[in-house]
């Protein structure tokens, strides 16, 4: 519950926009205490009293202090010094529990003024700053809702009384503000960039243009851009003079950074360097949209940050049909690689069919942060202005790859070969996943990488290392480890060889070949020689067989189903799901088979046919590694036992997928036995439902969420799946497509 101010007598010093709006907000909130004001303009005071904002007041601070419990100093920053001295002299007149706060836009100067006036920083002084305002000023602009939903930053010192901080927090909470704390220096540095610099630029631009054109034609013909950019130049000049003077050094630092950035852009314009211009504009445009969506709490990263507090659920009704022709979104593995290799190539790479899911978008964003100009995505089209193997630039901070194991592991190899240091971070699920499997062989190549305990993220990668080729025998069948080493191998002084214990997806090898980089293979080993170059070429991303798998299974278990999935990638290293379903008796055919950009594709046609349990051949496990959650649902609806072994890798995906599926099955009443590296599923295929409805938890894992949504087709009651926001990592639009083919499924906010 938010706190409410319980001050018997509040004194607001200064009836400008902030002071009068605070009074109005407190009044509107119905605070019980008296509100007084002190202002040199007696007519303003009279008006404020007539408007019902204050109970009384006067021009002399000493006289107004009698019995006051809370003083709010809302005077211009440079007037703060005099007011502090008066306060220090007459504070004995106030109540013994007096708390003082202020609303100044800079904090270090006000702290200095307080120390000068009081001899030291008083424990009952809580410096603060509401991040609210308007280009309008004074009592005329009063707005009781001015602080609602806005932030107020308090900057208490270690010596500040916690009771005083609590009371100032309550004051702002009463008028609807969100209160946070930071130290004085950080406040001044942050505000110099987010507020003071933009005001300074707006004032300067308007002044410059106004001088250039005495007849003010510019203003007459001003377009929206001018209006948007310069609105704040109408702000109170005295207030802003004071702010620039008071926060001089932080404002100058911010201005220096700005001038350096402007000089770079100027240079790009002057040199006609289209790539450099696009890179800056594109980064800015995306950063701006990211900022917008953060404010609206709807971006992909914001969604992750919010996940703790809100959760998206699926409610999948029992039964339903599976009919039609659909195309699922682009392949996630190929999408990640298209951005990575396109960025490292020389020339412009055009990608089509790109997956606009959060995982591959995180990869795209990371390259933007390393200076690569990338246009799009627009309806699956992305244009990457490659910078060559040595053209990446040092990013401003850690690279955040969200939920994407593929991104983190492939980046680890690629970044180990760069000249600069980097840090890779991810969301809570990714932070639990093992990275030693890439860090260890990379270290053998000469990379310097720090991980958190147990080889977990974040990964801190030291740049500038000379990498040497290795001959590596992978302990597990992992395309991510193989790809990571091949990417590092591009930067190595010699040959990098990787042997895999079983075939894994080979998109990296194929795409490197497509971009003119020679990768050789003999049996279970592939290798490349470092020091070459990649040449840009178009990349067509097929539909993702891992996403198609949910609909393949949906059709395979639903009597009467007849479904075509168009243009699905059927690379032989990915078709375990097709092989396994066919062995279980599915009527699944490949039609219209052809090749696009080095990857085989086909339309997959499934009609319902009764399934039976099988022993899943070990060699199919790596070829269907992401499809097991869906395949387990097929097994639950197949007559007899389906046995899976040698699948321990499922325990280190976005969740422990063996456990997550077993837990959900227990709730649905699907009989099963769990093993360390596998599961037995005792399926049924009756004329009616094959198990009951239940509430299940996806554990935030996209594939578990979609698998249980599909399971509802043969359940007796609804299947409610918790924590489904992460479906957007690999399959944006899943719900719409599922509904289109005949599933009854809705999204709900948990608790709604
Ligand atoms: O290389 C890739 O794109 C992937 C490889 C697989 O991971 P492992 O390499 O850990 O098996 C797979 O599970 C993942 O979804 C994507
Ligand atoms: C395991 C998966 O992806 P990643 O490893 O990239 O997180 C997946 O998509 O199922």
pLDDT at 560: 98
587 C-alpha to center of ligand 2: Å? Answer: 28
pLDDT at 698: 97
Number of CB atoms found within 10 A of residue 712's CB: 31
Q: Which atom of ligand 1 lies closest to the CA of 622?
A: 11
Helix, strand, coil percentages (3-state) for the chain, rounded to 5, are: 45, 20, 35
pLDDT at 210: 77
Among 242, 626, 697, 723, which one carries the catalytic annotation?
Answer: 626
Number of CB atoms found within 10 A of residue 608's CB: 17
Q: 429: exposed, middle or buried (C-beta count within 10 Å: 0-12, 13-18, 19+)? A: buried
Nearest residue (CA) to ligand 2, atom 4 = 405
75 C-alpha to center of ligand 2: Å? Answer: 56
Task: Extract the tokens encoding 415.
Answer: 């970044």
Distance between CA atoms of residues 69 and 168, nearest Å? 11
Nearest residue (CA) to ligand 1, atom 11 = 478
Tell me if ipTM is over 0.95.
yes
Low-confidence residues of the chain, pLDDT below 50? 1-2, 296-310, 752
Answer whether 406 contacts ligand 1 (Cβ < 6 A). yes
Answer whether 111 contacts ligand 2 (Cβ < 6 A). no
pLDDT at 305: 43
Asked if the domains at 9-182 and 332-540 fall in one CATH topology, the answer is: no
Q: Which atom of ligand 2 lies closest to the CA of 703?
A: 10
Answer whether 483 contacts ligand 1 (Cβ < 6 A). yes
Q: What's the CATH superfamily of 190-272? A: 6-phosphogluconate dehydrogenase C-terminal like domain (1.10.3660.10)
Q: Which atom of ligand 2 lies closest to the CA of 701?
A: 10
- Listed in order, strand segments (DSSP E) in 288-420 are 312-320, 323-326, 346-352, 373-378, 381-387, 399-400
pLDDT at 207: 85
Alpha carbon of 368 to those of 412, 624, 729: distances in Å?
17, 32, 19
CATH code of 314-327+544-749, in short, is 3.65.10.10
258 C-alpha to center of ligand 2: Å? Answer: 40
Tell me the ligand closest to 479's alpha carbon.
1
Answer whether 701 contacts ligand 2 (Cβ < 6 A). no
411 C-alpha to center of ligand 1: Å? Answer: 13
Distance between CA atoms of residues 162 and 124, nearest Å? 9
Q: Please choose from 479, 548, 626 the residue to mutate so as to test ligand 2's pocket, defined by most ligand atoms within 8 A of CB.
A: 626
Write down the domain spans for the chain: 9-182, 190-272, 314-327+544-749, 332-540
Mark whether 626 is an active-site residue: yes
Fill in the DSSP letter of residue 713. G
Alpha carbon of 291 to those of 285, 287, 297: distances in Å?
10, 6, 9
Tell me the ligand closest to 655's alpha carbon.
2
Alpha carbon of 314 to those of 80, 557, 658, 666, 748: distances in Å?
56, 20, 21, 19, 6
Nearest residue (CA) to ligand 1, atom 8 = 478
Q: Please choose from 653, 657, 699 the residue to mutate so as to test ligand 2's pocket, defined by most ligand atoms within 8 A of CB.
A: 653
Residues forming the annotated binding site? 332-333, 337, 405, 433, 478, 480, 626, 653, 657, 703
3-state secondary structure of 272: coil
CB 135 within 8 A of CB 231: yes
Answer whether 438 contacts ligand 1 (Cβ < 6 A). no
Q: Which atom of ligand 2 lies closest to the CA of 336?
A: 6
Answer whether 483 contacts ligand 2 (Cβ < 6 A). no
Distance between CA atoms of residues 657 and 626, nearest Å? 10
pLDDT at 306: 42
Q: Which residue in this structure is represented by tokens 């709006």?
A: 21
Class of domain 9-182: alpha beta
Class of domain 332-540: alpha beta
Answer whether 703 contacts ligand 2 (Cβ < 6 A). yes
Nearest residue (CA) to ligand 1, atom 12 = 626
pLDDT at 290: 62
Answer whether 21 contacts ligand 1 (Cβ < 6 A). no
668 C-alpha to center of ligand 1: Å? Answer: 29
């Amino acid at each position: 519950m938010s706190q409410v101010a319980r001050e018997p007598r509040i004194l607001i010093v200064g009836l400008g926009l902030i002071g009068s709006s605070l009074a109005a907000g407190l009044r509107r909130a119905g605070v019980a205490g008296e509100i007084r004001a002190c202002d040199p303009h007696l007519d303003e005071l009279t008006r404020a009293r007539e408007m019902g904002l204050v109970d009384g007041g006067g021009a002399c601070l000493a006289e107004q202090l009698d019995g006051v419990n809370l003083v709010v100093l809302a005077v211009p920053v440079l007037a703060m010094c005099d007011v502090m001295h008066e306060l220090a002299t007459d504070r004995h007149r106030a109540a013994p529990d007096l708390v003082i706060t202020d609303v100044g836009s800079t904090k270090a100067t006000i702290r200095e003024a307080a120390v000068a006036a009081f001899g030291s920083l008083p424990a009952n002084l809580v410096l603060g700053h509401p991040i609210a305002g308007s280009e309008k000023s004074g009592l005329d602009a009063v707005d009781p809702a001015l602080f609602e939903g806005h932030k107020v930053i308090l900057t208490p010192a270690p010596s500040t009384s916690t009771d005083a901080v609590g009371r100032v927090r309550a004051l702002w909470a009463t008028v609807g503000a969100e209160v946070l704390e930071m130290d004085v220096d950080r406040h001044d540095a942050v505000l110099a960039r987010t507020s003071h610099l933009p005001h300074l630029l707006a004032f300067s631009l308007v002044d410059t243009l106004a001088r250039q054109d005495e007849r003010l034609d510019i203003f007459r013909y001003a377009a929206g851009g001018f209006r948007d950019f310069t609105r704040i130049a109408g702000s109170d000049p005295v207030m802003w003079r004071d702010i620039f003077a008071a926060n001089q050094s932080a404002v100058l630092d911010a201005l220096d950074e700005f001038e350096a950035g402007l000089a770079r852009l100027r240079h790009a314009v002057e040199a006609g360097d289209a790539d450099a211009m696009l890179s800056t504009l594109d980064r800015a445009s995306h950063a701006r949209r990211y900022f917008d969506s953060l404010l609206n709490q709807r971006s992909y990263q914001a969604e992750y940050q919010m996940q703790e507090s809100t959760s998206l659920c699926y409610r999948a009704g029992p039964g339903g049909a599976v009919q039609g022709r659909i195309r699922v979104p682009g392949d996630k593995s190929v999408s990640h690689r298209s951005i990575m290799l396109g960025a490292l190539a020389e020339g412009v790479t055009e990608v089509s069919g790109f997956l606009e899911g959060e995982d591959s978008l995180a990869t795209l964003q990371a390259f933007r942060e390393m200076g690569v100009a990338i246009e799009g995505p627009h309806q699956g089209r992305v244009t990457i202005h490659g910078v060559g193997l040595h053209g990446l630039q040092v990013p401003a901070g850690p690279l955040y790859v969200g939920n994407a194991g593929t991104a983190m592991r492939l980046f680890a190899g690629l970044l180990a070969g760069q000249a600069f240091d980097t840090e890779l971070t991810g969301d809570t699920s990714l932070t639990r996943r093992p990275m030693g499997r890439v860090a260890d062989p990379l270290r053998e190549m000469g990379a310097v990488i720090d991980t958190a305990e147990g080889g977990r993220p974040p990964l801190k990668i030291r740049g500038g290392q000379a990498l040497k080729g290795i001959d590596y025998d992978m302990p597990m069948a992992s395309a991510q480890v193989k790809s990571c080493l091949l990417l590092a191998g591009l930067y190595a002084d010699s040959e990098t060889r990787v042997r895999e214990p079983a075939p894994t997806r080979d998109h990296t090898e194929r795409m490197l070949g497509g971009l003119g980089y020679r990768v050789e293979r003999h049996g279970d080993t592939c290798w490349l020689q470092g020091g070459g170059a990649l040449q840009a070429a178009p990349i067509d991303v097929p539909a993702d067989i891992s996403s198609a798998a949910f609909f393949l299974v949906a059709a395979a278990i639903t009597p009467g189903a007849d479904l075509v999935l168009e243009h699905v990638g059927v690379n032989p290293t990915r078709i375990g799901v097709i092989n396994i379903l066919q062995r279980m008796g599915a009527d699944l055919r490949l039609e219209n088979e052809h090749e696009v950009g080095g990857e085989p594709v086909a339309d997959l046609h499934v009609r319902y046919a009764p399934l039976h349990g099988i022993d899943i051949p070990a060699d199919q496990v790596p070829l269907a590694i992401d499809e097991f959650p869906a395949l387990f649902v097929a097994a639950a609806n197949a007559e007899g036992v389906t046995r899976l072994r040698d699948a321990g890798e499922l325990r280190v995906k976005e969740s422990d997928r063996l456990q997550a599926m077993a837990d959900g099955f227990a709730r649905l009443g699907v009989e099963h036995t769990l093993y360390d590296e596998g599961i037995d599923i005792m399926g049924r295929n009756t004329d009616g439902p094959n198990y009951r409805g239940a509430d299940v938890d996806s554990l935030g894992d996209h594939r578990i969420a979609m698998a249980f949504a599909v399971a509802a087709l043969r359940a007796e009651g609804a299947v409610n799946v918790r924590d489904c926001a992460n479906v957007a990592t690999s399959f944006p639009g899943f719900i719409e497509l599922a509904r289109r083919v005949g599933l009854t499924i809705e999204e709900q906010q948990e608790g709604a």
